[in-house]
Amino acid sequence: MAGQIAAWVMALLTVLGLAATAWAQTWEYTVQPGDTLYSIARRFGTTVDELARLNGLADPHRLQAGRRLSVPRTGQSEAASARVHVVQPGDTLWSLARRYGTTPAELARANGMGEEDVLRVGQELRIPEPEQPLRLGQVGAAPSRGLALVSVARRFLGVPYRWGGTGPGGFDCSGFLYTVFSRMGIQLPRTSFEMFRSGRPVARAELQPGDLVFFTTYAPGPSHAGIYLGGGQFIHASSAGGGVRIDPLSKPYYSARYLGARRYF
């Protein structure tokens, strides 16, 4: 009997030891509004697939604010590696975003403030380090790559439309796609016409997040393009809408002008 008790105690200690080791190798993170698995993975230096595995997530598309996630203790967090800028007279989130190669939304999020908040002279702002392009192998399987592309694209919501623009100060439709995919280490052709001629054709019924969708608008042929988000929606730099926005494919204007889709991941 004493031998059995000793064996049970040893087994319990082993389990507790393994649990303690696993706990020591992970952080606990509470999901915030607007978070995606990809943005969290980038922040903590891991991958979407690893986060899904650690937390038993069957559907990485669905992530509820307030949920607690285990994340690997690998690398430094976004906050730890951020630079600091002391606000000067005339500074705005838009001017600082252009200076540091980020977006107003990212700056606001990094500092726990709203995009419309007024900056105070002397205020210290954390500036996230510019993202380095990823290799596709770092992201995992194709569905995860598509989610990663979608996550990057959403970061530019609200950025103004600017003809020929490829920077954080403004985009045209193909410049937006070119910039988003370059953040993933994927080099696209520069124009929507060239993008349509390349890539792998995808049937509308087989669209996945991250696919490019094309439309005939101001000129014959694929004169406009966006990135499919899933759920029948796409994100694009719209001249009529004034900037980067989300619209449904079923919207009559786009539904009547839909040409097809291409996949680059």
**pLDDT 10s digits, 27-57:** 677 776 667 777 777 767 777 888 888 888 8
Q: Is 130 exposed, middle or buried (0-12, 13-18, 19+ CB in 10 A)?
A: exposed
Overall average pLDDT of the 97-122 stretch: 77
Mean pLDDT of 227-236: 95
Can you give the pLDDT at residue 165? 87
Domains and CATH numbers, the chain: 2-72 (3.10.350.10), 83-127 (3.10.350.10), 136-263 (3.90.1720.10)
Residue pLDDT, tens place only, 132-176? 444 444 444 455 678 888 988 988 888 899 998 887 678 999 999
Structure confidence at residue 77 (pLDDT): 45
φ/ψ (deg, to 5) at 234: -140, 155
Q: How far is CA 51 from the centre of its chain?
A: 15
Confidence bin at 15 (pLDDT 50/70/90): very low
Among residues 207, 180, 175, which one has the least CA distance to residue 194? 175
pTM for this structure? 0.55
Looking at the DSSP assignment, which residues form a beta bridge with residue 6? none
> Which tokens sit at 149?
């592309």
- Interacting residues of 5 by C-beta distance below 8 A, sequence separation 6+: none
Query: Exposed, middle or buried by CB within 10 Å (0-12, 13-18, 19+), for 252?
Result: exposed
Tens digit of pLDDT for each residue in 178-219? Answer: 999 988 878 899 899 999 998 899 999 999 999 999 999 988
Kindly indicate the confidence band of residue 69, based on its pLDDT and cuts at 50, 70 and 90.
confident
Residues acting as catalytic residues: 173, 224, 236
Average pLDDT value for the chain = 79
